[in-house]
Structure 1
């Protein structure tokens, strides 16, 4: 049986930085209010001309370079995004064109903040089944375009960015085990319910979130799925070298780390400088920790996150 493992990582953040102090000039908030509730100090915002596929392309090029893989060697592209360039074609097809490659399978996955894990496991299964040998997996978002910038409960939380990995065929397991879940009963506590009909936007086009309800659900769901993933993999908590969580809220991250018995020194946290970049947050954080030398080859890493749907999951891998 073929296995897959990560060959390279890459990321991209738009150059424009929006600090809490800058936000406080627009709305009734403060750096202290935001940091004390979320841990966020700043976020990156895409320029008007930048699209999700633009961000994805820059992250993908960085990952390809890191892996030493040419774009035309890729035979599968999966993009996780909640903020596609357009209704169709998919952001993955647009990314494929920007990379200058043609013919390989390319499609989007929509599981909001859990999207990268859904995309990664989809690509892993393609490789394990022999349907692909090298896959490009990207999480990319321009969350700033679906925010109500007068709503301080939500606009302070999110940012834009993209992260990518190149996944390749291997004789030894790289992705050790994964567990994905979803429950549509919780659709109303985190959503953007608008749709296009008859040439008009129908429904609210801004992100809506019931913060306390999301927090309560996320803490329990992430703790449970981490434990189940380790149990099904036949591994113990002390075998995890690094936790790379979705960057949504510092208190959620700390709760997950505590449940796993991991000190925060072994948790990758990019939240203060990047905010919540939805499907991009896990690959962004992974790339940061790989490039600064914290995550080393052969170490065991757990990716974990949760988002609207609700959709959530955990991926255990050897880097």
Structure 2
């Protein structure tokens, strides 16, 4: 019996050229949520931040680029890697959170959608190529992969382009310590339908949403600076609540995905988790490993890029995946028949996981 597989045939990413180290935040004056000034020395604030998040530097886009621009670059690289004609793409699914934000402004622009802009940038003329945006918080790119798989398995598409792109640097409050977390980046994959004897590609997925108390753990709010304009809003988050929520719920979603895939947990070779916070990611994977009695160590399973690239939301997983596939993470590799998990958590609050066999 032949299987209809959803297979990633090409990957691409764009890592911005502007490197911003932690030292560059020593010039900032940080405030608490109640607008009181943080009296702790900035050097101590930054050192504590690095200990918690693992971030030493992050990448921001140059002034001339927006999310759709870098998404198109990543997409073009994925298409070239797959060796396909762009005119044969059925769906362009673009995960993001804030649309295009021009340098020097804080206004989000999603008219037209980023997917339509990227289709335009790619020069695709085919009217049957349908572009649309997906807003699902940081798990957006993984959710796009789940949707592409659904299109393929249902027969509605044969070839999908799934992109994650964000420029969070344009929405940070420079008086909030959390601004040091956020970064920019884009990643993309081409997913194609393949009729094959063996089952491979996307084996399973799981997703969760909790909105009763959790909906506004991430939100837009005014700057912490006491003299800021209350009508201008920036990325804000309830860090402790997010940490606790993720630690309880993400390992469970990952476990469900493995059970749905029909594979043994010990068969998993890599876990590509959203690069949100190094300590949080380690704690999530440790709990998952313990829950599923996996024998591999966390460092062996979990490649990380957050130290150098920061948290680019929907861009973290596809960027990290492309880096591994292209040999840019020498301590990690993915071989034929390896089973990889993608897992993410973010605004909503939303969680998802995908099990993929190479």
Given the two structures, how large is their TM-score scaled by the length of structure 1?
Answer: 0.93
Deviation at 1:267, TM superposition (A): 1.1
Note if contact 1:79-1:137 (Cα within 8 Å) is conserved in structure 2: yes
Give the distance between the partners of 1:192 and 1:7, measured in 2 at CA.
37
SS of residue matched to 1:302: strand
Give the distance between the partners of 1:4 and 1:157, measured in 2 at CA.
33
Moved more, 36-45 or 171-180: 171-180
> Within 5 A, what are the aligned runs for 1:68-217?
68-85=83-100, 86-102=109-125, 103=127, 104-152=129-177, 154-171=178-195, 172-185=199-212, 186-192=214-220, 205-217=233-245
Give the distance between the partners of 2:171 and 2:209, measured in 1 at CA.
23
- Structure having the higher Rg: 2
What does the per-residue CA deviation read over 1:130-170, in whole Å, with 9 as the maximum and x for residues that have no partner? 21111110000001111101111x20101000000000111
Give the distance between the partners of 1:69 and 1:229, measured in 2 at CA.
30
Query: Could you say what the CA RMSD is over the residues aligned between the two structures, in angstroms?
Result: 1.8
What does the per-residue CA deviation read over 1:21-49, in whole Å, with 9 as the maximum and x for residues that have no partner? 11223345334222101000111111222
Structure 2 unaligned segments of length 5 or more: list them.
31-41, 101-108, 223-228
Partner of 1:41: 56
Deviation at 1:71, TM superposition (A): 1.7
Partner of 1:67: 82
Moved more, 69-78 or 10-19: 69-78
Note if contact 1:10-1:165 (Cα within 8 Å) is conserved in structure 2: yes
Note if contact 1:2-1:129 (Cα within 8 Å) is conserved in structure 2: no
Moved more, 261-270 or 212-221: 261-270
Give the distance between the partners of 1:205 and 1:13, measured in 2 at CA.
26
Give the count of matched residue pairs: 312
Deviation at 1:202, TM superposition (A): 8.8
> Within 5 A, what are the aligned runs for 1:240-259?
240-258=268-286, 259=288
Note if contact 1:240-1:302 (Cα within 8 Å) is conserved in structure 2: yes
Indicate how the Cα distance of structure 1 residues 291 and 191 shifts in structure 2: closer, same or farther if over 3 A, else same: same
SS of residue matched to 1:206: strand
Indicate how the Cα distance of structure 1 residues 24 and 70 shifts in structure 2: closer, same or farther if over 3 A, else same: farther
Give the distance between the partners of 1:114 and 1:54, measured in 2 at CA.
21
Give the distance between the partners of 1:138 and 1:24, measured in 2 at CA.
34
Give the distance between the partners of 2:220 and 2:154, measured in 1 at CA.
35
Partner of 1:312: 351
Given the two structures, how large is their TM-score scaled by the length of structure 2?
Answer: 0.83
Note if contact 2:173-2:235 (Cα within 8 Å) is conserved in structure 1: yes
The answer as to 2:17 corresponding to 1:15 is yes
Moved more, 156-165 or 253-262: 253-262
SS of residue matched to 1:95: helix
SS of residue matched to 2:87: helix
Structure 1 unaligned segments of length 5 or more: list them.
195-200
Give the distance between the partners of 1:79 and 1:188, measured in 2 at CA.
23
What does the per-residue CA deviation read over 1:181-236, in whole Å, with 9 as the maximum and x for residues that have no partner? 11122112212269xxxxxx995521111111110001111111111111222222
Deviation at 1:51, TM superposition (A): 0.8
Partner of 1:237: 265
Give the distance between the partners of 2:257 and 2:149, measured in 1 at CA.
16
Deviation at 1:72, TM superposition (A): 1.8
SS of residue matched to 1:121: helix
Indicate how the Cα distance of structure 1 residues 2 and 155 shifts in structure 2: closer, same or farther if over 3 A, else same: same
Deviation at 1:69, TM superposition (A): 1.5
Note if contact 2:187-2:315 (Cα within 8 Å) is conserved in structure 1: yes
Partner of 1:198: none
Note if contact 2:246-2:284 (Cα within 8 Å) is conserved in structure 1: no
SS of residue matched to 1:7: strand
